[in-house]
Amino acid sequence: MKAALAAVMLILAAPAAAEELPVRRLRLAEKANRLVISGSFTDVVDKDVLGQLSSGFATTILVRAYTYELAEGRTVAFAAATYRVLYDLWEEVYFVRVHDARGEREARFGTLAEALKEATALREMPVAPLSIVKVGRHHQLGLIVEVNPVSDELMQEVRRWLARGQNAVAGNSSFFGSFVSIFANPKLEEAERTLKFRSQTFYRTGR
């Protein structure tokens, strides 16, 4: 009984924690039966991270997106994307590899500015199947961006999710617990840089 009560309290606390996040306006669209988002998060890169990008060592940026329904205060979907930036010291080019629900793609760039722009952009990133984003219900997205996460367990879980190439419904995903713990307990984060924000409130019209 106590365990069940604690779970309910955590779930109820999640929307309140999300409401404390700054709002960042994202472009939302419906594409191929999925909700997709576009935007940027360049501000996750500080002077130290900028220096790392040209060091010859790989830098990994992890993006996690949680779609939640406001009225019921529940998470309905989870999505992730990874960005791997590597500077080739011999060829003097930057390789940026992006992996999300659509699969993996890689591009090369001649300047740091071009590589940084690619590695900090959401370009129609799929975040939820339209079938679970109910028409007329108000939703928001909570996003967490991390530079070089140190948790091997987290990265392995994300890789398994990406390997499936689909969005996970929160109720069937271990990431649901991660949403509650990260947004309600920010001290649990472990990464060189972390950025958290939420989208504007939105709803589907069904048209």
HSE of 168, CA atoms in CB hemisphere, 13 A: 24
**24 in a structural domain:** yes
Task: Please give the pLDDT value at position 146.
Answer: 93
DSSP string, 119-130: HTEEEEEEEEEG
**207 in a structural domain:** no
Q: For residue 69, give the nearest of 122, 148, 164, 136 by alpha carbon.
A: 136
**76 in a structural domain:** yes
Kindly give the residue spans of alpha helices, DSSP state H, lying in the chain: 2-19, 47-52, 112-119, 152-164, 175-184
Amino acid at 49: V
Task: Give the Cα separation of 40 and 111 in Å (integer).
Answer: 19
Task: Give the Cα separation of 95 and 54 in Å (integer).
Answer: 11
Task: Please give the pLDDT value at position 13.
Answer: 40
**What does each C-alpha distance from 110 to 23, 43, 95, 140, 164 come to in angstroms?**
33, 22, 9, 37, 32
The count of other CB atoms within 10 Å of the CB of residue 122 is 20
**203 in a structural domain:** no
pTM of the entire predicted model: 0.83
**205 in a structural domain:** no
**What does each C-alpha distance from 18 to 52, 140, 155, 198 come to in angstroms?**
31, 9, 23, 7
What's the domain range around 48?
Answer: 2-198
**190 in a structural domain:** yes
Task: Please give the pLDDT value at position 164.
Answer: 76
Tens-of-pLDDT digits for all 207 residues of the chain? Answer: 333 323 333 333 445 555 578 999 999 999 989 999 999 999 999 999 999 999 999 999 999 999 988 888 788 888 999 999 999 999 999 999 999 999 999 999 999 999 999 999 999 999 999 999 999 999 999 999 999 987 788 788 888 888 876 555 554 555 654 455 556 555 545 788 899 999 999 999 876
**206 in a structural domain:** no
Q: Which residues neighbour 171 within 8 Å (Cβ) at sequence distance 6 or greater?
A: none
**35 in a structural domain:** yes
Q: What are the φ and ψ backbone dihedral angles of 99, each rounded to 5 degrees? A: -135, 120
Domains in the chain, number: 1
Q: For residue 100, give the nearest of 128, 73, 140, 72 by alpha carbon.
A: 128
Coil/strand/helix, residue 140: strand
Q: What percent of the chain has pLDDT over 70?
A: 78
Task: Give the Cα separation of 52 and 141 in Å (integer).
Answer: 29
